[in-house]
Copies of this chain bind each other. A is one copy, B any other.
């Protein structure tokens, strides 16, 4: 089928889906969970074919790990769907109600965005999470997963599609794309597609942003900082730096640049050096850092590099405002943490650092939709409109204004005021 056709069908289904009540959507989600459970063996078999092929193609071990959809992971996504069923339906909430005049009432009511295109990496669990999040929030979705997972993704989409249609979902609320050419066509369809959520490498996300008029929700870079203030507890600072950097180096919320206040640097850096060198982290530092510990010299380029590796750049700064300025200048607005026992420093840092997630005395690694209790996430946004930070159900919602009159025309209000009385009413249909 042509891409424009697919998008048109999916868009039409989104209008239908946007009017499903919670029970209907939860019944569908329950059926999806059951059908995935029923088909575990088939999923394992097909996934092992993808893995075999990828091994032949020389895929690296970490990528093979992400591609693998073993029984434990399948059970986790099934549990995820069950959790999603428990979550509040974000659709149809009256956010504002105002009487404009007697018999003229305005309601702002939440509704789904419409049709969402999600392009994601080779993790089959992501397909299930994203599509069920879209369903619960009343959105249609067009998915394109990593090439390596082609067979698994195709099967999973079929299972989800069949299970959902059987329990009443509109026929075309979900599509799975298989080729890169399809993605290129997709990016042109701003008439039908309301939002693109790309996940994956920086280059890829930037490519999407550069090549589509459709709004993009996502993040290209995750250049996260820790700032070790002069009033930091040294042991806490060591643990937080270590965890932020090494607990999982390949993720977007891992630490890339450490900023250290000069008043604590001599005490802190040698201890950090010992701790991280033991974990094979390569340190790259500014000149002042090099005077305290032996390390490679950082270039200006290092401050804007997302290593996603066992590498940490370190800069000694003279006060908190210099730290804030550095982060706002070189950071990517993702996640930045301050370690300090001084509340006013923490406050200043959290208020002046212009990032989606600003932390005090904890690891940057907490920046995550599951951790935040959003139920699940479609990704983390460094956008500054619509959604910021981890994006869950609420991030897939917009609103419409409903105005209910009794024949009013604007002409009559040239000499008449609006009442603008808050109603605190919920719209009843």
Q: Which residues of A contact B (CB under 8 A)?
A: 15, 18-19, 98, 100, 104, 106, 113-114, 194-195, 209-210, 213, 215, 217, 233, 236, 239-240, 242-244, 247, 328, 343-344, 346-347, 350-352, 354-363, 365-367, 371-373, 383-386, 388-390, 398-411, 413, 418, 420, 429
Contact B399 A363 (CB under 8 A): no
Contact B407 A195 (CB under 8 A): no
Contact A373 B420 (CB under 8 A): yes
On chain B, the residues within 8 Å of A236 by CB distance are 407
On chain B, the residues within 8 Å of A346 by CB distance are 404, 429
On chain B, the residues within 8 Å of A386 by CB distance are 385-386, 398
Least distance between A346 CB and chain B CB atoms (Å): 8
A373 to B98 CA separation, bound complex (whole angstroms): 8
Name the residue on B nearest A368 (C-beta). Answer: B410
A350 to B19 CA separation, bound complex (whole angstroms): 11
Least distance between A250 CB and chain B CB atoms (Å): 14
Could you jot down 22 A-B contacts, CB within 8 Å?
A19-B352, A98-B372, A114-B384, A194-B385, A195-B384, A215-B385, A233-B407, A242-B409, A243-B409, A357-B401, A358-B400, A358-B402, A361-B405, A362-B403, A362-B406, A362-B407, A362-B408, A363-B409, A372-B401, A385-B398, A388-B400, A390-B401
On chain B, the residues within 8 Å of A363 by CB distance are 405, 408-410
Least distance between A183 CB and chain B CB atoms (Å): 18
A409 to B365 CA separation, bound complex (whole angstroms): 8
